[in-house]
Amino acid sequence: MKRTVSTLLFSSAILASLTAMAEPPLPGGLGPAELGQGKPAPTTPALPSGLSLPNGAATEPTLPGGLGDDNTFSSTAAHHSPFSLHGFAETRIGQRLHDDELQRNTSIGEGRVQLSLDYTGDKVTANVTGDFLFDDVQRDKSVQLDRGRGPFDLREAWIQTPVNRHLDIKAGRQILTWGVGDLLFINDLFPKDWNSFFSGRDTEYLKAPSDALKLAFYFEPANLDVVYVPEFDSDRFIDGQRISFYNPLIGDHSGRDMPVNPDFPHGRELAVRLYKNLAGAELAFYGYDGYWKSPNGYDPYKEQNTFPELRVWGASLRGNLGQGIASAEVGYYDSREDRNGSDPLINNSETRLLLAYEQELVRDLTGTLQYYVERLEDYDDYRDNLPAGIPQRDKYRQLLSSRLTWLTHNQNVTWSLFVYYSPTDKDWYARPKVSWKASDQLLLETGINSFGGSEETTFFGQFEEASNLYAAIRYSF
């Protein structure tokens, strides 16, 4: 509750700042309108690599067309307001493809209205974006901004300004994305919303907001981004409220009957990225100091899942190769509370690697292939200290992913297929989708989230009963 109130107060301050900066008054009416209960299992279903936004997605939200630098108001140019209000209204419904006695048959059933207010001045840009939501599945009545629950979700509330030619500052609630993976993360340790992604919401909702201060330094040798988060922002992880998961402590699935209620840390997070273009390729180095983003630890005294301390070092490289674009990313996950791997209640350290290639196969048909692997460090200690009955992880977990995107009907219809397959876990996750841009304002979409595997204890295999079919209608304005 304290976190929610402070975020709302910060948003109100931004709105007040926007109003104060405007030369004319704002037109009337425009405004910002993974494990069980009791004794949960020691690990939450941790995502093998995160799922990132597709390659090419912008790190910063783009301002809508028409926002210029001319803020001079006269009798002939009074319509050049620094403010712009836009958004969309959407209905999205979905049905499970398998029965799950721990969840409702409706996988998603919601109405959403998003309002986004932009301000563009000579020295300052700002944005406030909020979603008003009716959710027929979870039906939370109280607003929890840090968990993304309730009838209102504050997506963004930030102010950005250049200090000088070498430094930009962006402060407030913002969506952040790093790394080179396509729906796979290594060095992107910003929060994700896995419930949204697996349930059939738009891919943009995979990225959850961060309450952060971002400093962007621009120098001739290289550029440097520094992100400071004063209070830890976790993933919106699988907690059983909407999607069931395998609970190794009871040897079965947990859902609404045993939702996860972890112990959240109150420490800060710090992330840095040093990057430079070299002969047409982008080289980047990353650092992160904070916590595991999902509650994969367990405190037997409190009988609660925890977020163990984590430090990550990594690098990425992306550039042209042949007729396409090749990329690579690596990261070392230093699990600071269990560096020798002997504590079965805390994540072991890991090394993660991603190799990817993207190319236009024929006109309007693009393909992407990715190979990802996790190496569990201190594996002998992990295996020797694993409690009886808990499924044992492999030392190496491999994952292949492929995306096909085909544009037809004058590029108004998009056919998309994204598939994950793990040859080590023998499980998979497929995301076929088709969307039709009926007009500049109207978009219709339907798709499937399909999970499967030979074992219910593997990452994707545990979600087989969460497979669903969904459809959506969105009107933008």
> For residue 260, what are the β-bridge partners?
none
Q: Report d(CA 154, CA 156) in Å as an integer.
A: 6
% of the chain beyond a pLDDT of 90: 78
How much is the pLDDT for 266?
A: 92
Residue 21, C-beta contacts closer than 8 angstroms, at least 6 positions apart = 82, 119, 121, 124
DSSP 2: H
The pairing of beta strand 396-408 with beta strand 304-306: unpaired
Of 26-35, 367-376, 448-457, the poorest mean pLDDT is in 26-35
The whole-model pTM stands at 0.84
For residue 319, what are its two tokens?
């550039």
Q: What is the mean pLDDT of residues 440-464?
A: 97
CB 158 within 8 A of CB 172: yes
Q: What is the mean pLDDT of residues 278-294?
A: 96
Please give the residue that has the higher pLDDT: either 99 or 49: 99
Q: What is the CATH number of domain 2-55+91-476?
A: 2.40.160.10
How much is the pLDDT for 140?
A: 87
Closest CA to 429 of 454, 406, 461: 461
Backbone angles phi, psi at 55, to 5 degrees: -55, 140
Residue 72, C-beta contacts closer than 8 angstroms, at least 6 positions apart = 80
CB 64 within 8 A of CB 118: yes
Average pLDDT, the chain: 87
CB 237 within 8 A of CB 227: no
CB 114 within 8 A of CB 201: no
Q: What is the mean pLDDT of residues 418-440?
A: 98
For residue 454, what are its two tokens?
């030979």
Altogether, the residues listed in the chain come to a count of 477
For residue 134, what are its two tokens?
């009716």
